[in-house]
Every structure is written in structure tokens, then in C-alpha cells.
């Protein structure tokens, strides 16, 4: 598979017992459906986050979309991760895989922990 950010080859590795695909150039991470929830101990990959519509994103030009590493013809869609809307991640509408940019995996795990500690 190819990195959607810099078009380098993604490398397979194991993280928290889950096989993931990482970019050695930009440190991004590709996670197939269900892998993020397994790593972070969450009920689902988005942890209640919703698709972002018409919101400008600081990491790309308006209308610029990342391509899915599994389905290169498919544009990924930006989603808020978690209910706090502090983090934006990219998800493929076809396979529901998730692309995390540099340090976003760490931020996702931190956010999942923080939101799990909130009173219901």
C-alpha cells in the first residue's frame, strides 16, 4: 500500500498486538476497520465522532482529499474523533479504514482515555 500523504510504501508492523501499516517517511499510520478500536479499547473506531461537512481543515487546501491506501480511487473523508471534536482523522467511506497523520495515534489514545473518564 502507498502512503496518502507522501506516496511512500507503507510498512507492516505490530502495535499493541495489532498489525498496522506505517509510513517511515511521514510517520503516518493506516488502520483497517476495527483496528483502532482494538488498540485504544473503544467500542468503535470513531468513538462517537461525526463526519465533517463544510469545515476548513488546516492540513489541506479546500477540496483537497487524501486517497485511501486500500482503494486509491476513493477519497477519504474527514471525521471528528470522539465527542469532544478536538481531533480530525480521515476515514475511507468504502472500507472504513482510518488514516492517522504523525502523532495522531498517540492523540487518539489520549482522547479515548480522557473521554472514557468523563461521567456519563
Would 51 be classed as within a structural domain?
A: yes
List residues bridging with 19 in a β-sheet.
Answer: 14
Would 21 be classed as within a structural domain?
A: yes
Would 3 be classed as within a structural domain?
A: no
Q: What is the DSSP letter of 2?
A: B
Distance CA 6, CA 39 (A): 25
Would 82 be classed as within a structural domain?
A: yes
Distance CA 5, CA 22 (A): 12
User: pTM, whole model, 2 decimals?
Assistant: 0.86
Q: How many domains does the chain have?
A: 1
Distance CA 90, CA 100 (A): 7
Phi-psi map region of 103: left, alpha, beta (phi>0 left; psi -120 to 50 alpha): left
- For residue range 4-57, what is the model confidence (pLDDT) as tens digits? 999 999 999 999 999 999 999 999 999 999 999 999 888 888 888 888 875 556
- Quote the pLDDT of residue 9: 97
Would 42 be classed as within a structural domain?
A: yes
Would 4 be classed as within a structural domain?
A: no
Would 28 be classed as within a structural domain?
A: yes
| Alpha helices by DSSP H, 1-120 | 35-40, 104-116
Domain of 94 in residue numbering reads as 10-116
Mean of per-residue pLDDT scores for the chain: 87
Would 29 be classed as within a structural domain?
A: yes
Dihedral of CA atoms 116, 17, 107, 96 in degrees, nearest 10, equals: -90
Q: What is the mean pLDDT of residues 87-112?
A: 93
Yes or no: say if 88 and 52 are a contact pair by the CB < 8 Å rule.
yes
Amino acid at each position: 500500500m502507498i502512503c496518502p500523504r507522501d506516496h511512500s510504501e507503507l510498512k507492516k508492523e505490530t502495535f499493541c498486538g495489532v498489525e498496522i501499516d506505517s509510513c517511515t517517511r511521514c510517520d503516518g499510520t493506516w488502520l483497517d476497520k476495527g483496528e483502532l478500536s482494538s488498540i485504544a479499547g473503544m467500542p468503535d473506531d470513531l468513538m462517537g465522532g461525526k463526519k465533517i461537512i463544510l469545515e476548513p481543515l488546516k492540513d489541506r487546501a479546500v477540496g483537497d482529499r487524501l486517497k485511501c491506501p486500500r482503494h486509491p480511487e476513493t477519497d477519504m473523508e474527514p471525521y471528528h474523533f470522539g465527542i469532544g471534536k478536538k481531533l480530525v482523522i480521515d476515514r475511507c467511506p468504502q472500507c472504513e479504514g482510518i488514516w492517522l497523520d504523525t502523532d495522531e495515534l498517540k492523540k487518539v489514545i489520549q482522547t479515548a482515555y480522557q473521554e472514557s473518564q468523563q461521567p456519563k
